[in-house]
Chain A
């Protein structure tokens, strides 16, 4: 009886200790300094952290005004790298959302000055200049992007596209060929390379690239229409008609479908 009572007492004591051993985490670690400058730095760091969280969440739900205010405040706090360039990059996204393209371009330039190897900022700067309809600046940004990331698919694609739009056939050919060396199954690059070949007057090479694009993506209506136009230029009206007819069935975009249909119907006209 006495032993049983002792055992119960020991069990009660151990259970009590187990309960005391439970700890509850503090909401935030207590500051280990009373120095005013250090306390201020801690407060700034905390504010930067909170504003980044709120700003990124704001961008995620297209709340450009809130995101813009959060990142602008972070830049005011001058948090150092990499937060300074990152805040400018994120603020540029908010400014694009607000359609302030010039401001966005300036912020991305500033981010690249702070961190010259920031490839994502270089990539978005190309897009922003395209949104500004400034092909010359877009080309300069694309050249910088290629210098930062010469093997990057996005850099080659972006510069190739701008070169194609601005009539720089040699650069467009070189960039799309380089892109296809690493990505031979990328149908869109075959299509763009075909356009560069057309621009250079090499219809046979263009036809070959379009055939490859259509082998990879048989329902690629725009490529099929372009192939039809090449066939038409080569005087192969029957093949061209077939291509337009097929494109009219594959096209998802109504405008493209109508275009294919009207081209086919024009060929039907005696």
Chain B
């Protein structure tokens, strides 16, 4: 009888250890996955060509984009 009790106890302890192990493994893999999306947004694309008139030309779009205070005039990404 006491042998049976010992076997049951051993089985319960083994089950608890295994459950804890599985839970820990699941949590660590969840942590691995959650680490993936902490990526910052993309770098903006390169500014385009400038004509012979140079950056001081009245319509130098790249220079205007480089100095714009508003994000949509600065050619920044709208999504990361």
Contact = CB atoms under 8 A, between A and B. Distances in A.
Interface of A: 48-49, 52-53, 55-56, 59-60, 81-83, 85-86, 89-90, 93, 96, 115, 118-120, 122-124, 126-128, 130, 145, 149, 151-155, 157-158, 161, 164-165, 179, 182-183, 186-189, 191-192, 195, 198, 217, 220, 222, 225-226, 228-229, 232-233, 256, 259, 262-263, 266-267, 269
A179 B41 contact: no
Contacts, number: 153
Interface string B57-77: 000101101111111011111
B44 to A, nearest CB: 6
Q: Which 4 A-B pairs have the closest CB atoms?
A: A82-B54, A119-B66, A229-B34, A52-B52
Contacts of B60: 120
A266 B51 CA distance: 55
A81 B53 CA distance: 10
B2 interface: no
B66 A164 contact: no
10 contacts: A55-B49, A56-B51, A82-B56, A83-B54, A120-B62, A120-B65, A124-B46, A157-B76, A232-B30, A233-B34
Contacts of A155: 66
Given A188-B77, A232-B30, A123 B40 contact: no
B50 interface: yes
A154 B68 CA distance: 7
Contacts of B33: 259, 262-263, 266
B20 to A, nearest CB: 14
Summarize A's interface: helix, strand, loop or mixed. Answer: helix
A1 B77 CA distance: 82
B49 A222 contact: no
B55 interface: yes
A55 B45 CA distance: 20
Contacts of A93: 46, 48-49
A124 B71 contact: no
Given A90-B50, A120-B47, A263-B33, 5 more contacts: A83-B52, A86-B54, A153-B71, A259-B33, A266-B29
Given A119-B66, A153-B69, A222-B37, A127 B43 contact: yes
Contacts of A263: 30, 33-34
Interface in B7-22: none
A198 B35 CA distance: 11
B55 A86 contact: yes
Given A56-B51, A222-B80, A232-B34, A192 B41 contact: yes
A158 B40 contact: no
Nearest to A79: B52
A127 B46 contact: yes
A259 B55 contact: no
B79 interface: yes
A28 to B, nearest CB: 17
A229 B37 contact: yes
A182 B69 contact: yes
